[in-house]
Amino acid sequence: MRISLQPRSNVSLNARIIISIIAALAAFALVAVPVSFAGVSPLTAYWLMFKGSFGSMFAFSETLTRATPLILTGLAAAIAFRAKLWNIGAEGQLYAGALAAIGVGSGLLSLPAPLLIPAVVLAGIVAGGLLMVIPALLKLRFGADEVVVTLLLNFIVILFVQMLIEGPIKDPLALGWPQSVPLVDAAAFPKLFARMRVHGGLILGLVAALALWIVISKTVLGFEIRAVGQNKAAARFAGVPVNATMLKVALISGGLAGLAGVSEVAGVKGYLSADLSPGFGYSGIVVAMLAGLHPLGVVLAALFVAAVFVGADSMSRATGVSNYLADLVVALSLLCVLVGGFFLRFRLKFERAAVPVQMGE
């Protein structure tokens, strides 16, 4: 018996959605094993996770707050990966956007709120976009591996931010704590609900997801991005400006990650610190893969990942089980999606091996 792989001609959106749902359920089923060894019923742990993320208006608002930067970094990864531009630098681009927001919104510009907030947003988008253009240019001009370049830029940017918040932009009123000067009140995003942390950055994330879906599915640029992602040589032969398209993708991807940094500074903290992001840039890659690189799916995937992390914190306080359980759920979900995606692209074909015919004696 011989087993071979046959590529599938077309994979529907519904099939991708079903695979993502099955992957999430499979991840919870697998995580039930270590939870049981910890002495807690998996059903109890999962119920507490659900209550901790959706059980009250406050819990739901915290989930939305956590999902906001994940939506933006997930979109950043999704559009880059569609063009086969492997942006692993959303973490650094997030910090670059946050730094630009502080530079513009901490009193540098004396503008009314209706103009200051757009200025802060634009500064963050430009900073993140320009940071992603660097590895894109190195890839196009010298063939540099953008995975390595974007990954190393993360450390460079974060160390640069740490240097600044310990020196030139350190808040003198922070009692020695390493954080930047705060944003002025006029530059802060409005809260969507009273006495809750969810803010206007969520609206920006949802609008960005819708706009990106329209761009990818309805515009010439979207066609060019899909063509470059599927086959660069064929796209170039058909007249698609491959290099220009890659640079546009880099600007959009980095800009979205930079906007995530703006949302955290202007919507949650109000200042820049070295612990601004617990890894939103890297988690955005997981979100994009769970969503099958679909912009609207990114919103649902970000909500799922945020709910797992917020719910795990609540569950940990109630049961004593480590909240690192959330990392295990998310990692196994990604692994299951990758396995499911493989079988979406290929089908197994079983063939009976031919028996050699022997000539007569």
* Tens place of pLDDT per residue across the chain (361 aa): 666 667 766 666 677 778 878 888 888 888 888 888 888 888 988 899 999 999 899 999 999 999 999 999 999 999 999 999 999 999 999 999 999 999 998 877 777 778 899 999 999 999 999 999 999 999 999 989 999 999 999 999 999 999 999 888 888 887 778 889 999 888 899 999 888 899 999 999 999 999 999 999 999 999 999 999 988 999 898 889 999 999 999 999 999 999 999 999 999 999 999 889 988 999 999 999 888 889 999 999 999 999 999 999 888 888 888 888 888 888 888 888 888 777 777 776 766 655 555 555 4
Give the number of other Cβ atoms within 10 Å of residue 25's Cβ: 12
Which ranges constitute the DSSP H helices of the chain? 13-37, 42-54, 57-82, 90-105, 113-142, 146-165, 201-218, 220-230, 232-237, 242-264, 280-290, 295-319, 325-345
Of 206, 203, 201, which is closest to residue 124 (Cα–Cα)?
Answer: 201
Give the number of other Cβ atoms within 10 Å of residue 19's Cβ: 20
Please name the amino acid found at residue 351.
E
Say what the pTM is.
Answer: 0.91
* Greatest pairwise CA separation for the chain in angstroms: 100
C-alpha angle 65-289-219 in degrees, rounded to nearest 5: 90
Euclidean distance between CA atoms 89 and 268, whole angstroms:
22
Euclidean distance between CA atoms 68 and 70, whole angstroms:
5
Query: How buried is 54 (Cβ within 10 angstroms: 0-12 exposed, 13-18 middle, 19+ buried)?
Result: middle
Please name the amino acid found at residue 165.
I
In this structure, what DSSP letter does residue 199 have? B
Give the number of other Cβ atoms within 10 Å of residue 9's Cβ: 5
